[in-house]
Structure 1
Amino acid sequence: MLTLFGWTSKKKVSRAEVLQKREERRKRSTQSIATTTPKTVAKKADKWVSPFEKLALWWAYDVGIDLGTTNVLIYIKGKGVVLDEPAYVAWNIHTHEVVAVGEDARIMLGRTPADIEVIRPLQDGVINNYDMTEFMLRYYIKSVLPASTLFKPRIVICVPSGITPVEKRAVIEAVLQTGARKTVLIEEPLAAALGTGLDKAASAGAIVVDVGGGTTDIAVLCTTGVVVSKSLRMGGDKFDEAIISYIKRRRKLLIGRRTAEEVKIAVGTVDRKAPVEEITVRGRDIVSGLPQAIKVSSKEVQMALEKPVNVILEGIKDILEKTPPELVAEICDHGIILTGGGALISGFDRLITRAIGVAAYLVDNPRYSVIVGTGRALREMDRLQDSLEELQ
C-alpha cells in the first residue's frame, strides 16, 4: 500500500474492522471489571481521599469519650486516658454564665447562693440540658487538646444501647458543635467488653453488665457482635436516691446526694451476710428541723438497695430468656462480666451469682472498662467498623 511515507506492507484496515476490534476490547474490559464484586468496587472507591484528608488522618487527634451521667472520661489515641472529671456544671441562672465545670462545680453542690445552680447536663444516660452538655464537652476537649491543633479531631463517643434516635441525634449534634471532624458512635456494652479484653472475633459468647451512674447496659455478645441488649434507667444515681429515701423514711433524717454517695462508698453492700459496719451521718432532722448526727449501718444500706438491685437482676434474667440456647450454654461457661462504677458495690457479684445461677465476676478497674474499650475501638477502627456507627 502506497502512503505519504512510501510503500508499506501493512494492509488497509476497514472502518468495520476498527469498530469490531474496539468492541472486542470493550468486552474484555467489561469482563475484567465483572470479576470484581460490587462491594469490592465500592470499597475501592471509598478508599480514595483528598490530599488534605490524608493529612488530617495522619496529623489529627483521635479522641474517645465516655459521656456518662456522673463522670466524663476522655481517651486520646497514643496517650491513653487523659481526663476523668465529674459531669457537673455550675451556672448563674440570671446571666446564664458558667461559673465552674467538673470537680470545681461538684464541690459547690448544695453550697451555692440563690442565683447559682449546680446541674448535671445528663440524666439517666441521655442529654437533659443540650447547651450545658455542649459547653461541658467543648471545655473538656479543649483542656486535653493543644490549642495549636490544625485539624479537627475524630471522636468516638459511647452511648447507652437503648437510647432513642432523637436522644442519639442530640449526642451527635453536641459532639459536632465542639468542632469534631467526624463522629463515631459505639454502644457502651460493646465498649465495656472491649475494655475487659473480650475479643468479639475470638469469644464464642459472653454477657456484659455495665452498671453506670445513670444506666445499666446488659448485652450478650458473640463473634457477630451484639446479639441482644437492654438498657435500664438504673444505676449509681438510683442507689443514692434509695439511700436518701430510706434514711428519710426510717430515720427521719434528711441528707443530700453527696452524703448518700459517701454512705454508699463507705458501708454500701447488697450482701445480707456481710459483716455489719457503721458510719456517722449528719443531716437535718425532719421533725425538729435542726442538725443531727446518727449512725447508719451497712445492714440498713443493704435493705435500702434491695429494690434497685432487683431491677438489675430482673433485667439480666430477661436478657437470658431472649438469648439463643446455644449461647446460654456458652455464657454459663464464661460467666457474667461486671463493669462500671456501680458494680463496685460490695457483694454485687456474689448476689448475681446466687440469683442467676451463673458465676459473675468483677473486672479490674471497672470504672475504666468503657473508656479503655473506646480507646481500643479507636486503634482497631477498621476491624470493628461493622459494630460502629460512623456519622459526619
Structure 2
Amino acid sequence: GNMVIDIGGGTSETAVISLGGIVALEAVRVGSFDVDASIQAYVRREHGIAIGERTAEEVKMAIGSAAPTDDESQAEVRGRDLMTGLPKTVILTPEEIRFAIEDVVSSIIASVVRCLAKAPPELAQDFLVRGMYLVGGGGLLRGLAQRIERETQVPVKMSNMPLEAVVLGAGHCIEHYDALKNMFMGARR
C-alpha cells in the first residue's frame, strides 16, 4: 500500500491506496490559503496593520515553517496601519509565523494521523518501509514533512514535482485508463 498527502490551496487530503483502490481517506477543508489567511489575521491582530493575500503568501514563502529551521531570518513587511491608514513597516520572525499558522498545521497533521489510524494494520509495515508521499503546493511549507514524520513516526517523502503531481497523476490515469478503470468510482465493471 501507499499513502499520499495532498495539501492544496483549500483542502488537504490523505489517502491510503492498496490493490488498485482507496482503502482509507481523510479530507479537511484546510490548505495553504488558510495558512496565508492566518498570517494576515495575526499581523492585523498583533501588529495593527493590514496586509494583502499576496504579501501574506510572500511572508509564508520567506520565513514560514511548520517547525524550527536552520534559517531563522526575519522579514520586513509593509502594510497599512489600521489606526492611521498610513503605510507602516514591521519586522516578523519565523517564530511568530509558526505561532500564527499552528492551528492550520495541526489540523492537517491530525487528518494524516486519522487516515493512518483508518488504514488496515497489515499496511503499517509498508508505510514504515516506503513512507508517505507529500504532494501539493502546501507541502512546500518548510519543516512540514519533518514535522509530519516526527508526529507519525512514518518517513515522509516529498514529490519531485509537488505542484504538478496531481495533474501528472490524472494524465497517467487517462493514458492508462483501460488498465486503471476499476479504480474509479462509478466505473462500470
Q: Report the TM-score range of the alignment, normalised by the length of the smaller protein.
A: over 0.9
Give the secondary structure class of the aligned counterpart of 2:104. helix
Q: Find 1:339's aligned residue among 124, 132, 135.
A: 135
In structure 2, the partner of 1:289 is: 85
Using structure 2 for the length normalisation, give the TM-score: 0.94
User: Between the two proteins, what is the percent identity of the paired residues?
Assistant: 34
Q: Does 1:279 align with 2:62?
A: no
Post-superposition, which runs of at least 4 consecutive aligned residues in structure 1 deviate over 6 A? none
Kindly state the Cα deviation for residue 374 of structure 1 after the two structures are TM-superposed. Answer: 0.9
Kindly state the Cα deviation for residue 345 of structure 1 after the two structures are TM-superposed. Answer: 0.6
Kindly state the Cα deviation for residue 272 of structure 1 after the two structures are TM-superposed. Answer: 2.3
CA distance in 2, matches of 1:234, 1:209: 13
Alpha-carbon contact 2:69-2:143 (below 8 Å) kept? no
* CA-to-aligned-CA distance 1:256-308 (integer Å, 9 cap, x gap): 11110111112111112443112221111122221111121222111111110
In structure 1, the partner of 2:180 is: 384
In structure 2, the partner of 1:298 is: 94
Q: Find 1:243's aligned residue among 39, 60, 63.
A: 39
Q: Find 2:57's aligned residue among 261, 268, 279.
A: 261
Over 3 Å counting, the alpha-carbon distance change for 1:389 and 1:222 in structure 2 is closer
Q: Does 1:314 align with 2:110?
A: yes
Q: Find 2:157's aligned residue among 357, 361, 383.
A: 361
Kindly state the Cα deviation for residue 389 of structure 1 after the two structures are TM-superposed. Answer: 4.5
Q: Find 1:216's aligned residue among 12, 18, 32.
A: 12
In structure 2, the partner of 1:252 is: 48
Give the secondary structure class of the aligned counterpart of 2:125. helix
Alpha-carbon contact 2:10-2:32 (below 8 Å) kept? yes
Give the secondary structure class of the aligned counterpart of 1:384. helix
In structure 2, the partner of 1:14 is: none
Q: Find 1:234's aligned residue among 21, 24, 30.
A: 30
Aligned residues: 187
CA distance in 1, matches of 2:70, 2:90: 21
- Return the structure number with greater helix share: 2
The structure showing larger relative contact order (alpha-carbon pairs under 8 Å, at least 6 residues apart) is 2
Give the secondary structure class of the aligned counterpart of 2:55. helix
- Pairwise CA RMSD: 1.4
Map 1:140-155 → 2, pairs under 5 A: none
Unmatched tracts of structure 2, length 5 or more: none
Give the secondary structure class of the aligned counterpart of 1:280. strand
2:4 counterpart letter in structure 1: V
* CA-to-aligned-CA distance 1:77-126 (integer Å, 9 cap, x gap): xxxxxxxxxxxxxxxxxxxxxxxxxxxxxxxxxxxxxxxxxxxxxxxxxx
CA distance in 2, matches of 1:265, 1:275: 12
Using structure 1 for the length normalisation, give the TM-score: 0.46
Give the secondary structure class of the aligned counterpart of 1:287. coil
CA distance in 2, matches of 1:377, 1:224: 12
Q: Which moved more, 1:208-217 or 1:264-273?
A: 264-273
Q: Does 1:270 align with 2:66?
A: yes
In structure 1, the partner of 2:171 is: 375
